[in-house]
Amino acid sequence: MVIDFHTHTFPDTLAPRAVGGLAESADMMNYSDGTVSGLLASMERAGVDVSLAAPVVTKPHQTEGINRAAQAINNGFTGRGVLSLGGIHPDTERPERVLEDLKARGFRGIKLHPLFQGTDIDDRRNLRIIEKCAELDLIVLIHAGLDPTFPGVEHASPKQILHMLREIPYGKIVLAHLGAMGQWFEAEEIYGRNVYLDTACTLYPWRNRRGGVTDFEGYIALTNERFTGLVRRHGADRVLFGSDSPWTDQLESRTLLKRSGLTDAELRAVLGGNAARLLGLEEGT
């Protein structure tokens, strides 16, 4: 089973505006239209069995609506296709109750994006949410490092992430982008800790809307040697394949991973084995 642990979708009525606006603001290419049907078509081309959608709540009042849309996705999940995390904002009213409700409704976890949510990951509001997730055994997928939409802004730097991990040493935290997008050389203390990392946008060259390779704040995709070295230092049993679709192409992301130099056993773990175990999908449910 191949599992893409890091994708994004939007309701059909919102996708053109959402994807178009983000692509313009960050000057980045999108490879699908951001809808569930567009993601399913991408999965078919890439040979991906399950994609995990990671909704980002950018304003507290969006929480309920975003989670209704996520629930609709999950209602159609049969062990293959698109599965969604829940969403929450650091300023969501009564976050503990929201998380308890998500757990009761069968959600596997939530997504936090400190930059889009304008809150440091080690802020008490985020720590409160992560603590509750640990109590409920919910996965916490966190954007880590820089983001092209917010040049010069750091809400999830390696230093802040390390502080968060020291405060809450929880084993079901997933740090996107191998722990620190564009800041991997500053993230040495993250590797080897009891957290998961995903591979989204690590080997992938950043492309602007004209198709040219570009960079933001000195971001350069990892070389195969550097990538495999970080995976092995952290432990391939705690690394998850992620594409960040629609901002990368799932097929190309999977191809780059297969060509990275990881062994067949490491690839089996990263491409799906680890994620299946974490999501509870071993039996295809």
CA distance 248 to 252: 8
Render pLDDT for 156-195 as a digit per residue (tens, 0 to 9): 999 999 999 999 999 999 999 999 999 999 999 999 999 9
> What phi-psi label fits residue 252: left (phi over 0), alpha (psi between -120 and 50 degrees) or beta?
alpha
Confidence of residue 218 (pLDDT cuts 50, 70, 90): low
Q: Between 202 and 28, whose confidence is greater?
A: 202
Torsion of CA 279, 129, 67, 94, to 10 degrees: 150
What pLDDT score was predicted for residue 284? Answer: 41
Task: Please tell me whether residue 69 adopts helix, strand or coil conformation.
Answer: helix
In a domain, 30, yes or no: yes
Res. 285: pLDDT tops 60: no
d(CA 125, CA 113): 13
Residue 72 lies in a domain: yes
State the DSSP code for 269: I
Report how far residue 112's alpha carbon sits from residue 161's, in angstroms, rounded to the nearest whole number.
12
Q: Model confidence over 102-154: pLDDT tens digits?
A: 999 999 999 999 999 999 999 999 999 999 999 999 999 999 999 988 988 99
47 located within any domain: yes
Q: Evaluate whether residue 284 is within a structural domain.
A: no
Q: pTM for the complete prediction?
A: 0.96
More confident residue, 14 or 66: 66
What tokens appear for 247 in the block?
């901002």
Indicate the number of domains in the chain. 1
Domain that holds residue 267: 3-279
- Whether 56 is in a domain gets the answer yes
CATH number at residue 130: 3.20.20.140
Which residues have C-beta within 8 Å of that of residue 96, sequence separation ≥ 6?
128, 132
213 pLDDT more than 60: yes
> Is residue 134 included in any domain, yes or no?
yes
